[in-house]
Structure 1
Amino acid sequence: QEFDDNSASSQVFWLLKESELTPSNSNILDGRYSVFGYVTENEDFLADLKVGDVIESIQVVSGLDNLVNPSYKIVG
């Protein structure tokens, strides 16, 4: 079954990196997902996340010039 590439809902999920199972630069997904961020510090909070938790804010720290979404005007 084929899907429209831009039809997904806004799900968020975390992959916990286990070096032996998910070596760097390997694609363990099916190619239909986009990575939009990484946790680089204070990852202990991931264990406390629950279904229904809300992301209240995010901050783009690099790569803003690569963000393309014609429905939003990016102020930066």
Structure 2
Amino acid sequence: MQDRPDPAELARARQARLVGIVLAVTIVLWLGAQWLGGELDWEPRFVFLFDLAAMAAFVWALIVTYQIWRGRQG
């Protein structure tokens, strides 16, 4: 008979999976926006908005990863 996984551990695993998905999607979208901006000669200030959005996603991922890490410590 197997033990059931701890619900808190399952929640942390879901959070970690979400962080991974957000990071992967952010990187792909950011690289795509950089390429598209170069191809369509967008103004740098417009492309910079994609940089800010990517940085916001990375900061969010860092905060959630820290929360996951802190949750495992307790």
Structure with the greater relative contact order (CA < 8 A, sep ≥ 6): 1 or 2?
2
Taking structure 1 as the reference length, what is the TM-score of the superposition? 0.24
Write 1 or 2 for the structure with the bigger share of helix.
2
TM-score (normalised: structure 2): 0.25
Kindly name which structure, 1 or 2, has the bigger radius of gyration based on alpha carbons: 2
